[in-house]
Amino acid sequence: MPAAPAATSNGRPTEPHKSWKKVNEERKALKRQRKQEKLLKELQQAKEAEERIAEDASKPQSKANPNPSTLSIAVPGSILENAQSNELRAYVAGQIARAACIFRVNEVIVFDDVGIATARETKRSYEPEAEGSSTGTVRSSSLQLARILQYLECPQYLRKYFFPLHKDLKYSGLLNPLDTPHHLRQQSKFRYREGVIVDKKAKEGQSYANVGLLNDVLVDKAIEPGVRVTVRMDPASETSRKQRGTLVSPDEPRRETGVYWGYQVRIAHSLSEIFTKSPYDSGYDVTLGTSDRGTSIHEVPSRSYNYKHMLMVFGGLQGLESALANDEKLTVDDPELLFDHYVNVLPRQGSRTIRTEEALLIALAALQEKLQPEVADVETDLSDLLPKSEDTGVHVRRDVLVSKKQKKRKLVEEEIPETPAATETPAPKPAPKIARQTANPFSDPSEISEKTAPADIDDDFEVVSSSLVPGTKKLSGSDDDLSRFD
């Protein structure tokens, strides 16, 4: 018996009809196959991660770059009390922040040079103490200076997370931006970025961070939201659209690339706490005090200050002597005994006093040739990665700067058609100058008699005869009558 012909559709053979049972079995088999492939892929990724960790652990740590030398400055918070207005208080703090960034300062210490006994009325609580439940207090001016310094150092896209509305920051919009390298734009491509952990659900052991890009970055550690972090950006992956990063120490960008990465702010309650609560394990190996009673800066040899962690202390309105007298823990009488070097950064000054914000710029500039760090910054060319000075702000074309009035006038002139030269009307002739009918009351009487005709008088202003003006009457009396000018 001949076989039945195969079913065709439009000249093409069609598959035989399948039952629902067979279709479900094929779907289940395909699902199992995909699940197995996914498990194999996860196992392979976990194996690669373990190999990477083992490889990093096996690398000798001697290849890592050592931390560069640091420079710290200490300024008194009482300098804001010498300002005449709230705007000037904020501007003085902005000047200190600008000077710290220009000269690559790594730590700014704000200390209280007035003392507890004389500043009880102006103290404010700022943080809980570690020993007990009581709160620490600090002078109001010191707290305001520290808050403004932290605000300016923070990248712009992170300020809304860390700085709520506060009266100390009321005039922060008047201050000049620092424009430091770690204040990256959205279009900037650099391997390190400052960010904050956001409250966004992620996989176990991971979290999302806002680093100033369009999308949040997935980092490799689970941290509670609201913490500021430094993220090393991973190269873009072809298989995943998510941008990934690794949390690193805030010192790594400067250590690996040599780029300046901002400063830290610390509050000291007295002059002695500047030295005793240093964040470095070995403390400050070189300390320098500035005073007009110190050694002249011109007598210091070049590259003579070899340091690992250097500290420069500046006095307030009354100098370091007043800060030493108000510190109950220090028993010495001469502030020169507290420092390794006591220097006068500007001998033969023209003013009796130098303001602290001025002394900061003068001292840091004068000591540039005297400092010799043990570990210098790595020198790398980052001109293509970091934004340049001309990239700051928005480029405005010249035609945009033209005022609306000038634009309107230009449009009106274009709409008016040009008339031929033949139809141009001649300019009206100027009216003849009316001869003076009376004497000029502002001239010398002796000069009036010498002049022959009043029409020849060449005055700086034109005087119209009162006889030609309706509603006026002629002058009567002597030449000294000035009623005509009322």
Please write the tens of the pLDDT for every residue from 348-363.
899 988 999 999 999 9
Taking only the tens place, the pLDDT of each residue in 206-239 is 999 999 999 999 998 999 999 999 999 998 877 7
Domain 70-180+262-373 has CATH 3.40.1280.10: yes
Residues 98/62, Cβ–Cβ less than 8 Å: no
pLDDT surpassing 70 at residue 448: no
Q: Coil, strand or helix: which one is 223? A: coil
Q: Which residues pair with 137 in a beta bridge?
A: 125
CB-based burial of residue 342 (10 Å sphere; 0-12 exposed, 13-18 middle, 19+ buried)?
buried
- Residue appearing with tokens 């195969």: 6
| Longest CA–CA separation in the chain, Å | 153
CB-based burial of residue 172 (10 Å sphere; 0-12 exposed, 13-18 middle, 19+ buried)?
middle
What tokens were used for 468?
A: 């030609």
Residues 136/129, Cβ–Cβ less than 8 Å: yes
pLDDT surpassing 90 at residue 9: no
Residues 302/370, Cβ–Cβ less than 8 Å: yes
What tokens were used for 130?
A: 């570690």
Note the pLDDT of residue 137: 76
Distances (CA, A) of 255 to 62, 192, 267, 375: 14, 12, 25, 10
Q: What percent of the chain has pLDDT over 70?
A: 69
E strand residue ranges, 77-222: 107-111, 123-128, 135-139, 192-197, 207-210, 217-219
How far is Cα 338 from Cα 289, in angstroms, rounded to an integer? Answer: 8
pLDDT surpassing 80 at residue 407: no
CB-based burial of residue 247 (10 Å sphere; 0-12 exposed, 13-18 middle, 19+ buried)?
middle
How far is Cα 470 from Cα 434, in angstroms, rounded to an integer? Answer: 16
One-letter identity of residue 436: R
What tokens were used for 165?
A: 């509305």
When comparing pLDDT for 388 and 81, which is higher? 81
**Mean predicted lDDT score pLDDT of the chain:** 80
Give the pairing type, strands 70-76 and 107-111.
Answer: parallel
Distances (CA, A) of 173 to 81, 94, 98: 20, 10, 15
Taking only the tens place, the pLDDT of each residue in 57-97 is 665 544 568 889 999 999 999 999 989 999 999 999 999 99
pTM over 0.75: no
Note the pLDDT of residue 450: 52
When comparing pLDDT for 382 and 290, which is higher? 290
**Per-residue confidence at 338, pLDDT binned at 50, 70, 90?**
very high
Give the pairing type, strands 12-13 and 8-9.
Answer: antiparallel
Taking only the tens place, the pLDDT of each residue in 106-135 is 999 999 988 754 444 455 655 544 444 444
Taking only the tens place, the pLDDT of each residue in 299-320 is 999 999 999 999 999 999 888 9
Note the pLDDT of residue 232: 94
**Per-residue confidence at 423, pLDDT binned at 50, 70, 90?**
very low
Q: Which residues pair with 148 in a beta bridge?
A: none
CB-based burial of residue 111 (10 Å sphere; 0-12 exposed, 13-18 middle, 19+ buried)?
buried
**Per-residue confidence at 19, pLDDT binned at 50, 70, 90?**
confident
pLDDT surpassing 70 at residue 465: no
CB within 8 A of 143, min separation 6: which ones?
Answer: 77, 124, 126, 168, 267
Give the pairing type, strands 135-139 and 123-128.
Answer: antiparallel
Every domain range in the chain assigned CATH 3.40.1280.10: 70-180+262-373
